């Protein structure tokens, strides 16, 4: 992706990890940065959605409330089952971070 489109979508590479949120929501229990494990890696996810303008809102919603599976048969559990409710703002922070991987 070129620098200009990174600016227009508000995405940057290497967003700092929101560690407290990541810990609280146990993201790394199922995901890793670069190797598919119980779930797609964050790099695969970033690759798939980085250039889709609608993906950010869809992923934020999915992180908070869950939704149907896009990768296989196993959907990701909603926030309430992972470690507690997730605010819209926190979901936004997490999605920006994942898409910057």
31 marked as part of a ligand binding site? yes
26 marked as part of a ligand binding site? no
How many CB atoms sit inside 10 A of residue 71's CB?
13
Q: Judged by CB under 6 A, which of 31, 50, 93, 101 binds ligand HEC?
A: 31
For ligand HEC, the binding residues in 58-97 under the rule CB under 6 A are: 59, 62-63, 69-72, 74-77, 82, 94
List of residues contacting ligand HEC (CB under 6 A):
25-27, 29-31, 38-40, 45, 59, 62-63, 69-72, 74-77, 82, 94, 98
């Amino acid at each position: 992706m070129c620098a200009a489109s990174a600016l227009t979508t508000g995405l940057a590479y290497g967003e700092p990890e929101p560690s407290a949120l990541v810990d609280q929501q146990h993201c790394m229990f199922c995901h890793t940065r670069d190797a598919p494990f119980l779930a797609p890696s964050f790099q695969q996810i970033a690759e798939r959605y980085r250039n889709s303008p609608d993906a950010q809102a869809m992923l934020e919603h999915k992180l908070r409330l869950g939704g149907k599976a896009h990768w296989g048969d196993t959907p990701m559990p909603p926030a309430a089952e992972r470690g507690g409710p997730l605010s819209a703002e926190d979901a936004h922070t997490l999605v920006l971070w994942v898409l910057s991987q």
